[in-house]
A and B are shown apart, each in its own frame.
Chain A
Amino acid sequence: MAGTTFAKGGIHPEEHKELSERLAIEEMPPPSQVVLPLSMHFGAIAQPIVKKKQEVQEGEVIAVVEKALGASIHSSVTGVVKAIEPRPHPTMVRCEAVIIDRDPSAPPRSYEVDDWRKLSREQLLARIKEAGIVGLGGAGFPTHVKLSPPPGAKVDTLVLNGAECEPYLTTDHRLMLEYPEKVVEGARIILKVLGIKQCVIGIELNKADAINVMNKAAAQSSEKDDTVVRVQGMQVKYPQGSEKQLIYSLTKRSVPGGGLPFDVGVIVQNISTTMAIFEAVSMQKPLYEKVATFSGRALNRQANLKVKVGTLLSDVVEYLGGTKDLVKIVSGGPMMGFAVSSIDIPVTKTTSGVLFLNSSETDLGEFGPCIHCGWCMEACPMGLSPKEVGLYVEAGKGHLTEKFGIFDCFECGCCAYVCPAKRPLVQFARLAKIAIKKRG
């Protein structure tokens, strides 16, 4: 199979997936305490509906978003609310969080599968909303909102993102290998919610085993209804899993700048999200557990772990035997993930992986002047001019960079990856966007 790909640009970073791709998903024993930040994803900060010293059950709603865009938060353990106070947060530095002490004697909650096919579209959406599902790929956009496109939108294709093009991360790979039926059933639930018939699952060719397994699962379940779920192999090239690149790769449709996937009739869902949707609908299980890759060579043992949302990274590190020569902790993949400053931050719904990088894996060196090699322009999948943006920002003219299409930049990091002068081109791009917004 040749594999499809996106229109231009892209890079081939070292994959580092060999550290964890063969390790089966392992359930980490629940920690004695969980920290559940009230802001875990895109949208408004949730309001707590529990009080200090209140007993809560595993899966019970502890915070809600009443009017604005957002999603509910559920307790990931059975126990007692110890405090509601600000705690270190992956992106917000500090954020109000509900801290729950786990009751060690409480048995884990179990869920039964029932047939989702008898439910109506509205009932399906309601279950997704109740379970607090958000996009688990990164930004965490509330899924029930994403699955309710505006009336004018003519969506005809569901795209499942199994690219997992970020180095190190193997979460979606393992989920597809170990729970292919859940993923495919999840896809059919989404098809029913959207009232469409067609789903393409895009998987990079470096996951040949996952392509096989998913092909079989898709074929087996296709007898149940008239929907078509198809697996498409894609070239191994970063950023194959970025929304616009993925859509182009699989459907040859181009989402225009400033547009959304449904402008070209597509909705994209991540593999983890799709599985969470299956569990939310079929099992009525809220989203409070997360499969994430814990990798990087500073970690004594790498693993694909199923952890309770709210588990502190320090607990995970202890469970995995500690670290050596740790210089940087990254939440997410190494290309687009963010460096975190503290190990006392919790795993959230959108944590797809946490990398513990040693001094040989990450470069903390200084950057030099732009030598105009043009490699960034060749690597940019959007056809922008990162070097120009960088020079403008350095000259204090970041507000003049709109002509380079700076708002099409989704900060994939290809430019900075290839830059021989090691210039922080993503940072320059962010500064340029801020400068333009400031000028109004």
Chain B
Amino acid sequence: MIPKPDWAVSVSPHIRKGTTTSQIMWTVSATLAPVLILSIYNFGFRSLIITIVSVLSCMLVEAISQKAMGRAVSVKDGSAVLTGILLAFVIPPGVPYYLPLIGAVAAIFIAKELMGGLGYNVWNPALVGRAFLQASFPVAITTAWIAPQQLAKSAWDVFLSPGSADAISTATPLSVIKQYGITALTHQFGGLDSIYWNFFLGFKPGCIGETSALLILLGGLYLMARKIITWHIPVSTLVSAAIVAWIFGGQTWFSGNPLVHVLSGGLMLGAFYMATDYVTSPTLKSAQLIFGVGVGGLTVLIRLKGGYPEGVCYAILLMNCLTPAMDEWFKPRRFAPPKAAPVAAAK
């Protein structure tokens, strides 16, 4: 019989790096705070309320599902919070307040917990939530846009009178392009330079967290500096989107405007925060590059040739389907494997 040990015994190693799963989740969530603040500035307190409803819904749904399935409740690990933030960020600010709750059920219960919980989901939960809402509430999801107050009022006015659902309703730049072409958009913003500038800073109609390329870029760069994400997926996504937009986006071939496509819609948020999700993207860097190329290319192809003005959500969900296969195909290069390699044990 093995005597009861006097001290803790466990298999080596006995020291661990400090970073934990929940630290990663909370850090990623924190880097999205500036995006939310700008969104409140742009679209009023609706943005904040919808984000709060979404986060609380995700936490609640996760707690209930985990309890119901007899799992340990892990709401505190920050994963559901991050999903909640991302779900709110990919829906328009003008939707009814109960909508995020329905999205949360799809995101957390169906896409995450039913799949086996954290680490076992095939699709990005927030995007499944968004796709579910788009299928179930097509009108709300595609029309509940609010024009940024910046275009009409001064900053002080915005603070005093936050926007509401019946604020100036508008169309997103991508749907303008889809319906009337890019010249209509140029006309609306008063020139290409103005488009680039407003899109880069984030003063345009769009989903709650998708407007500011600058703030998303800063958050993404911070995550890279902290080594939480690497450049592979964001860069390959954006470059691929730009190239496909340049090839197919114009009246003739090779005459599209890549910059407008990169800066509009959810591409920046998708490239830095959605496609980089550890669980649903390939692990190996080489596979990540291919994954990003797929996400960027499919996004622009859906925008240009598909029925919807925006394609990021479906592009990422489609590439998520390939992730398990890519993880199987792409293995790390081994250091000095046996000379006569053993017969592959994949029976």
Contact = CB atoms under 8 A, between A and B. Distances in A.
B8 A328 contact: yes
Given A369-B118, A413-B12, A256 B336 contact: yes
A328 B6 contact: no
A134 to B, nearest CB: 21
The 10 tightest CB contacts between A and B, nearest first, are A341-B5, A413-B13, A257-B338, A254-B336, A374-B283, A369-B119, A383-B334, A402-B345, A427-B11, A339-B9
A370 B327 CA distance: 14
Interface in B126-185: none
Contact of B15 (A248, A370, A417, A420): A417
Interface string B1-24: 011111111111111110111011
7 contacts: A248-B336, A341-B9, A342-B5, A361-B15, A368-B21, A383-B335, A402-B342
A430 B12 CA distance: 11
A307 interface: no
Interface in A1-31: 6-9, 11, 13-14
B308 interface: no
Interface string A369-383: 111111001001111
A421 B118 CA distance: 11
A319 interface: no
B6 A341 contact: yes
Interface string A384-428: 110100000000000011111100100101001111111010110
Interface in B310-327: 327
Given A400-B346, A403-B346, 7 more contacts: A259-B339, A328-B10, A362-B14, A377-B283, A408-B337, A426-B12, A430-B11
Nearest to B347: A400
A371 B12 contact: no
B336 A403 contact: no
Contacts of A167: 15
A380 B332 contact: yes
A8 B334 CA distance: 9
B294 to A, nearest CB: 18
Contacts of B17: 11, 13, 417-418, 420
A255 interface: yes
A7 B4 CA distance: 42
User: What secondary structure prevails in chain B residues at the interface with A?
Assistant: loop
Interface stretch (A41-49, A52-60, A140-148, A329-337): A329-337
Interface in A324-361: 326-330, 334-343, 355, 357, 361
Given A254-B335, A369-B120, A402-B345, A339 B21 contact: no
Max count, chain A CB within 10 A of own CB: residue among B21, B24, B120 = B21
B337 A374 contact: no
Given A335-B15, A377-B332, A385-B331, A424 B342 contact: no
A366 B205 CA distance: 45
B284 interface: yes
B34 interface: no
B236 to A, nearest CB: 16
**Secondary structure type dominating chain A contacts:** loop
Given A330-B14, A340-B9, A371-B118, A244 B339 contact: no
A336 B283 CA distance: 26
Nearest to A8: B335
B31 interface: no
Contacts of A426: 11-13
B228 to A, nearest CB: 8
A340 B7 CA distance: 8
Contacts of B23: 420
A256 B8 contact: no
Contacts of B7: 326-329, 339-341
A258 B336 CA distance: 10
A191 B216 CA distance: 61
A374 B24 CA distance: 14
A289 B66 CA distance: 57
A11 B345 CA distance: 30
A219 interface: no
Contact of A374 (B3, B118, B278, B339): B278
A208 interface: no
B21 A371 contact: yes
B277 to A, nearest CB: 9
Contact of A373 (B5, B24, B337): B24
B321 to A, nearest CB: 15
A181 B342 CA distance: 45
Interface in A110-139: none
Contacts of B21: 368, 371, 420-421
Contacts of A355: 14
B112 to A, nearest CB: 11
Given A369-B120, A383-B332, A256 B13 contact: no
Interface string A261-283: 00000000000000000000000
